[in-house]
Amino acid sequence: MKLSHPQSPPRSAFTLVELLVAMALTLFVMTILVEAFGSGMDTFQNMRSLGDIQDNLRSSMTLLKTDLAQDHFEGARHLSDVNFWDEPRREGFFVVTQGSRLAPNSRTYVDEGTDLDGVNRSYLATDHRLNFSVRLRGNRRENFFFETSGAALLQKRLTATNNDRESVYGYDRIPCASSQWGEVAYFLVKTQVPITDTLAGTPAYGPIFLHNLYRAANLTIPYVDDLNKVPNAAAGFFRISRSDRSTGQERFLSPNDFPKGPAFRTKFYDPTKPINSTNENAALALVCTNVVSMQVRIMKDPPSPGVIGYEDVPANAQGVPEFDSAVRPAGSPPYRLIGIQIVLRVFDPATGLTRQATLSQDL
């Protein structure tokens, strides 16, 4: 006897339960993919921002190291020479300034405490400055300082010297002076943009502001000619001005002027004026943006009691923490500057990442 079973009707679609399960699995997989994609984008953005920060720090430190490694005085004299103070300098100068002393709750130079590693300390410094003369060497174009902004003064001197081309070159109608001696300055300028960090809160000394690091440069004429001598010697000395060259008594500085003191150097930065061409500076270059701190410390010989390595700059006779090669430090023997350390810290507002680089340079 043969038994027969009724055949089930063919299925034409998925059941509701199967659709719900499939949708749930699809949503689960899509959620994982979206989270992974978002995490990857955040990681990519952080890595790109970190790379940009590192590039900015690297280029800034390279520029600083290049300037610091040049000659700053006549011949082969160095700040670290044992007999540096035995005879006066004939050419050049070197100045390290900490605008304020390290103090709790200071707005410009403060100890922020120990870093997350529990070992290194972090310092916030926004009023440290470097100003020194540079003597470049070589015969390439980048081994010279150029001055083109003083067209009126240069044209006047060209006419007075019968177009003497030994120290002045005329490119078409643009007079241009070139020299391997120059002044260089590094300083921070506040951008009025505060750093907001809801996790750490506002420090006791107030909000932290971002700054821009600037490099100012100005050539000097290394010998006396019609470009850097006053037409009327009885009129006295006049430093070349970046905002007014209309008087006939302006002149280019000479390296022999620098040892005479601050009055015989270009005042590159006046904090009461905006950063533009009227601030006694036409050769201004933006080196690094979003700078939180630039701390400058020195290594001196003999060192301060109990100090090993780099330390803050001792105060001068006016109570300002400053080293000036034109002023013999107090003490017997007076200390010599044998090295310098610069710690530059940069912040990225988009990601909140902060990185710093340290440069140590023998002098």
pLDDT in tens, 111-165: 888 777 767 788 899 999 999 999 988 888 778 877 665 545 555 544 444 444 4
Q: Is residue 87 domain-resident?
A: yes
Q: Is residue 280 domain-resident?
A: yes
Token reading at 64: 């600083």
Query: Rounded to the nearest 5 degrees, what angle is found at the Cα of 120, between the Cα atoms of 203 and 51?
Result: 85
Average pLDDT in the 54-83 region? 89
- Residue 36 to residue 34: CA distance in whole angstroms: 5
- 174-179 and 181-194 beta bridge pairing: unpaired
Which of helix, strand or coil describes residue 48?
helix
Q: Is residue 255 domain-resident?
A: yes
Token reading at 277: 């061409």
Q: Is residue 10 domain-resident?
A: no
Q: What is the pLDDT of residues 195-207, one digit of tens each?
A: 765 445 567 777 8
Find the helix or strand (DSSP H, E) in which 27 lies. Answer: helix 16-68
Residues β-bridged to residue 129: 97
Q: Is residue 226 domain-resident?
A: yes
Average pLDDT in the 180-204 region? 77
Q: Which residues contact 222 (CB under 8 A, 6 or more apart)?
A: 91, 179, 180, 181, 254, 255
Range of the domain at 235: 74-182+199-207+218-285+298-336
- Mean pLDDT taken over the chain: 76
- Residue 216 to residue 362: CA distance in whole angstroms: 22
Q: Note the pLDDT of residue 10.
A: 66
Maximum pairwise Cα distance, the chain:
141
pTM: 0.77
Q: How many domains does the chain have?
A: 1
Q: Under a CB-based contact definition with an 8 Å cutoff, are residues 110 and 104 in contact?
A: yes
Q: Is residue 59 domain-resident?
A: no
Average pLDDT in the 336-355 region? 87
What DSSP designation does 263 have?
Answer: G
Instruction: For residue 256, count other CB atoms closer than 10 A to its CB.
Output: 18
Taking CA atoms, 304 is separated from 9, 175, 311, 338, in Å, by 99, 50, 8, 13
Q: Inform me whether the pLDDT recorded for 2 exceeds 60.
A: no
Q: Is residue 148 domain-resident?
A: yes
